[in-house]
Amino acid sequence: MRSEAFLHGFALLATALPAAALAPGDHDLTVRSGGTERHYILHVPPSLPASPPLVLSFHGGGGNAKAHKDYVRTDAVADREGFLVAYPDGSGRVPGRLLTWNAGTCCGYAAAARVDDVGFVRALLDDLAARQPYDPARVYATGMSNGAMMSYRLAAELGDRIAAVAPVAGSMVVERFAPARAVPVLHIHSVDDPRAPYAGGLGPPFPMTDSRVMHPPVEARLADWARANGCAGPPAEAERRQWTSPGGARHGATRYAWPGCKAETALWKLSGAGHVWPGGARDALRGLLGPGTLVIDANEEMWRFFSRHRIGR
């Protein structure tokens, strides 16, 4: 009888134990969501606090987790600052190819098939909690292009689990905007973006297709967030930077901040750069995306922003 009581007590204790930490490095992981196996890469820095922050980073339309990870170069900041980075894969008609996110009215297969990518992120967060400790009050989302749109959807629909977002080069395309709480937002975008027009409008055809996307104006969608975040007035200029490329091109960056917000709302408005991740791998696909830039480093700016915010504070 005593041995049975002991075993029962041990079983209860085991279920209450935290997840064992994963070894430092990159881990290819899968989770079941919507009846299918979904993949994500988790980067674990060499040294972490007991309950580290987690950044979710979403690739652009047609990309994948591995290529995005290599392009944005967030791991170096994660290693220095001690946070986890998860790079999920979107979905496509052919596994591993031309992957997209259902961010609302965009993009590609994921939106057309109405893939439940919000549900996938919920499943990913639950799966990761069973593998690797992280702080549930410090989960952040970012992404490039269609991935930026996905991070906006999470802010609007999963605000109970996403502490703040920092979308890059992609505006918000949710079909219904009714966030459950004020969510800090930092948007990064170039006015010279050739694929996701800053002022809005129909973008150029997706490579090797005739598929085009209608992009909402960046500042109009940020105004929606400013209202939802209870900001007290229009944005004010807070900082300016300039950078000259090795070829002599001048790039600019101006940061705007909305006053009196319940949740911080800000914009880095760039010029001279293309449809790119500032500070990422330089001039990748320049003919398609336009020039890269070092006028700001998106990783540094978003981590500085994220580190100020947590759910419940």
pLDDT in tens, 191-244: 999 999 999 998 887 766 677 888 999 999 999 999 999 999 999 999 999 999
Asked if residue 11 has pLDDT above 70, the reply is no
Phi-psi region of 53 (alpha: psi -120 to 50; beta: other; left: phi over 0): beta
C-alpha to C-alpha distance for 256 and 258, rounded to whole angstroms: 7
Domain covering 20-306 in this structure, CATH number: 3.40.50.1820
C-alpha to C-alpha distance for 78 and 7, rounded to whole angstroms: 41
C-alpha to C-alpha distance for 69 and 85, rounded to whole angstroms: 9
C-alpha to C-alpha distance for 140 and 273, rounded to whole angstroms: 25
Number of Cα atoms under 13 Å in the Cβ half of residue 99: 23
pLDDT in tens, 164-204: 999 999 999 999 999 999 999 999 999 999 999 999 998 88
- Global pTM value: 0.92
